[in-house]
Amino acid sequence: NRMKRARARHKPCALKELEVSVSELGLGYESDETVLFRYCSGTCDTAVRNYDLSLKSVRSKRRIRKEKVRARPCCRPLSYDDDVSFLDAYNRYYTVNELSAKECGCV
């Protein structure tokens, strides 16, 4: 079981989806309407570039000290889904853009 969980944690970066209510999105809208929320999840171990290795090395030699840098690729949306519209609890329509991921990648 632990093995299964470990393997799940190390899945490569990919698009996943979840049914959530609009209220759960935390954007301040009050609505019971359900939307499909697609997000990016997974590791980027195989996408490490020479950039990441070099940055890590330079940082460890304390050549970069005060700045915030990230020396590993990150699983993020490459593009976003179309707009999502819904009716809220007060019968007003709203449209939200860039809510859901369309394509994921290690950047």
Catalog residues that contact other proteins under the rule CB under 8 A. 19, 32-36, 82-87, 91, 93, 95
Question: CA-based angle 62:66:70, to the nearest 5?
Answer: 80
Which is nearer to other proteins, 21 or 43 (by Cβ)? 21
Give the shortest CB-8-to-other proteins separation in angstroms: 24
Which is nearer to other proteins, 60 or 85 (by Cβ)? 85
Which is nearer to other proteins, 35 or 104 (by Cβ)? 35
Give the shortest CB-93-to-other proteins separation in angstroms: 5
Give the shortest CB-77-to-other proteins separation in angstroms: 16
Contacts of 56-59 spanning 24+ positions with Cβ under 8 A? none
Give the shortest CB-75-to-other proteins separation in angstroms: 22
Considering just the CA atoms, what is the radius of gyration of the chain in Å?
A: 19
